[in-house]
Structures are given as structure tokens and as C-alpha cells.
Structure 1
């Protein structure tokens, strides 16, 4: 009886060690953690960074209009508006 429990406990420890050493397990846990954090706290700052500009959003169109207007003014020699 004791030998049976000892073998089961040894097998359990071996399986747990294998699972915790697995990179696939860590990737899965990381993705679940990322999804839960995203649901609880919203998108993280690195996803909302300045380098992730949406190309078809209204902000990009307004920026391009403003940018072309500023370039035209610079070629004409008009001073920039400082408000």
C-alpha cells in the first residue's frame, strides 16, 4: 500500500516537473494572463504606443492635411502660427 502511494506521488512530481519545464506551457499561461489583463485593465500602454498609428483612422487623415499645409506654408515663406 505504501509503495503504491509512493509510486503515485513520484509520478505526480515527475509530471509536474515536466509541465513546469515546458516552454509550451509557459507560452499558454502567458497568453491567458495577457488576455485576462486586457479584459480587466484595457489595452496595455505598449499596444497604444505612438508607433501603432492606424492608417485609415480620422486622425491620420487630419495629420496628413495639417502636415501638407505646414509644408506649403514653409515653401511660401510664411511664418508658422504660434498660438
Structure 2
């Protein structure tokens, strides 16, 4: 499956959510990550994120598609998350 993760979390937790997300997905935009995952990887990602966020303050959205081929993406401007941007 292809997963897009969008998050809006407290500054206290944003670095940790980013770190967890990068274990599974590719950073493509501020607070946006995407990539192909197995069902097991997707479940692990959600479990790890749930351990970090505060459900009363933070928001994390997951969009799932069958594959990357089901996604049409248009980029205007610079491409973030390109190999030169990866730390």
C-alpha cells in the first residue's frame, strides 16, 4: 500500500514524530511524508506515533492508496525531500 502521513503536532513532539516517520516513509514536505509500506509496517508506524503524540493536542492523518500508481501528484516549485535534502 502507499501511505501519505500528514501531521500537526506540538513543537515538543514534532522532532520525535519526524524521526519515527523517517523510519518508514520519505519526507516530501514540511509535516508530510509518503511511501510504500506493507500492512505490518503501516501498523507499526501508527503504533509508534500513538506512543508519542498527545491525542488531545496533536493531529496525524494517514491517507492510504493501493499503490503509488493510484496517486497523481503535481509539484509546483521546488521539490523537497530530494536526495540532496536527506540528512
TM-score (norm 1): 0.22
Structure 1 or 2, whichever has the larger Rg, is 1
Structure having the larger proportion of residues in strand: 2
Larger RCO, structures 1/2 (Cα 8 Å, 6+ apart): 2
The structure that is helix-richer by fraction is 1
